[in-house]
Structure 1
């Protein structure tokens, strides 16, 4: 009887285990996330020679998603319904970024966000798992849409402020916290790793009394500079829709020299938290295998067709502009 060396058996078993684990872990290894653009402010355009742009995305959101193994497609505003329907059926997830425009359909951002939100919910109801994340302004728009177009926001003083999170009862039963590394959860709970730049927020009391808690689960709160408690992190009760009032993308990728942006944490624990949240969301996007109809359509849509501007005069390090 031929004896097979133990080292050969071990190597073969290890390879098989790795292949099985990878197949179970994710079946879409080429996820693409759509990031919603918005109209640039006059101050953001002020440093450009050519100011004839109608949309922008901060490059930090692009890098944030790329750091977790995704590619990005910019989602333009003021497009027809067919444009958004095609993207929702072609992409693997969406991110609504922070910014300074209206969360209602009076802005291109708000109108496009409403359309994408409805389409993503419809798709998920049919069993196609397409995640959506809203950050800061995007979080606020999710509360507006989740409350059936009722603005539940109140004034908050949480600008240029880094804080830990006050985790709520049952947080470990959530999709987010059940999948984050324990070390990142501890950092979120005890260290100033979440940075905030917002003047509006939703209080826990309004979150519950408005009925929004029937739609979303309150996972964590923070406090503004005046001691007001506000909702900092939430996820949909049933669907892969998530919102953070804080900015996880800034820890790694924003380096503004402005005195109004001195609180961004760049130490190791804050970077680990940022990366963990990026990894979580992109992993969510790997749970569907949607794709563009052709490789050419995909190539034309990707962010690689644009180049970022170094916007040293603004609060963003780099920005993609669109016409």
Structure 2
């Protein structure tokens, strides 16, 4: 019964934009930014010579909504990022534990990709970007002219409902969200958090970000500090969530430090709504690689995932790159 309700809600979300335009992209590709592997990942591997990784949950997250993934490697030439950004149909900044400044490969590549997304949209190319957790934080940092407005908080391993903000329905995300899914996110603990830095509503306003972005929802940490949980750009298809929707269906760690991940049908349905929404945004972008050979060489299928969860990592699977 529950599953059918969730699936029906997701079907409504997919049909929200009935009669898609003629150039609607039925083969969307999402570029997912990699980052330096944390010690917790390298410690469980015999081979320590990997330079970047992507948690496989992000790949499955977008594949489950009908898109393909291209890994975006770190520490490459600027031309590499411009080429990737001009070939894919959307970009995902995943969560993680590295610097959001250009002192890290993730932060340096993120700045180039973010600037490309902004330029593309200003030039009339519909180019969606989603940032999750650390990716959300990097978007706020870059959009605030490379100024950090984050505050220390205590919100790791915590599942929450979203506190919807005034005007939340005046957004792409919620305008297309079925009423039952809105009920799930606002009344049930369907979103899970793993972060120690927060963007408070006060800092979001003081930073000037409120002029370009809508705060759609907030959450509260263990000390009842309210922080921004979900944002959307006023004009461009740029979105950010402090929570991790990819974990609900695809992460199964055994340690107590990750026990809050909700796997119930409501939470999984909410996660799929967000992935469906983002992939559907990417369908409005019709960019493609110059040749089929280039596309094939870029896809994630050229790499094998590693069952890192069996080795003791908090990530069930990871893609590792040299």
TM over 0.5: yes
Structure 1 residue 185: Cα displacement: 1.0
Query: 1:199 is matched with which residue: 196, 208, 212?
Result: 196
Distance 1:45 1:256 in 2: 16
Query: 1:300 is matched with which residue: 280, 284, 297?
Result: 297
Matches within 5 A, 1:1-323: 23-24=20-21, 27-312=24-309, 313-323=312-322
SS state at 1:219 partner: strand
Distance 1:298 1:143 in 2: 31
- Report how many aligned residue pairs link the two structures: 305
Structure 1 residue 25: Cα displacement: 8.3
Gaps of 5+ in 2: 1-14
Structure 1 residue 43: Cα displacement: 2.1
Structure 1 residue 27: Cα displacement: 1.1
Question: Larger C-alpha radius of gyration, 1 or 2?
Answer: 1
Structure 1 residue 81: Cα displacement: 1.1
Q: Is the 8 A contact 1:180 1:277 kept in 2?
A: no
1:280-304 Cα shifts (integer Å, max 9, x gaps): 0000000011000000000000000
Q: Is the 8 A contact 1:187 1:193 kept in 2?
A: yes
SS state at 1:38 partner: coil
TM-score (norm 1): 0.93
Distance 1:103 1:282 in 2: 24
Structure 1 residue 42: Cα displacement: 2.1
CA distance 1:125–1:186, shift in 2 (3 Å): same
Gaps of 5+ in 1: 1-17
Structure 1 residue 21: Cα displacement: 5.2
Distance 1:200 1:185 in 2: 26
Q: Is the 8 A contact 1:78 1:112 kept in 2?
A: yes
Distance 2:187 2:47 in 1: 45
Q: Is the 8 A contact 1:181 1:276 kept in 2?
A: no
Structure 1 residue 198: Cα displacement: 0.3
1:142-171 Cα shifts (integer Å, max 9, x gaps): 110010000000101001000000000000
Runs of 4+ with deviation above 6 angstroms: none
Q: Is the 8 A contact 1:310 1:318 kept in 2?
A: yes
**CA RMSD of the aligned region, Å?**
1.4
Structure 1 residue 49: Cα displacement: 1.6
Distance 2:167 2:148 in 1: 27
Structure 1 residue 131: Cα displacement: 0.2
Mean alpha-carbon deviation: is it higher for 38-47 or for 110-119? 38-47
1:152-199 Cα shifts (integer Å, max 9, x gaps): 001010010000000000000101100122211110110000000000
Q: Is the 8 A contact 2:150 2:197 kept in 1?
A: yes
CA distance 1:226–1:168, shift in 2 (3 Å): same
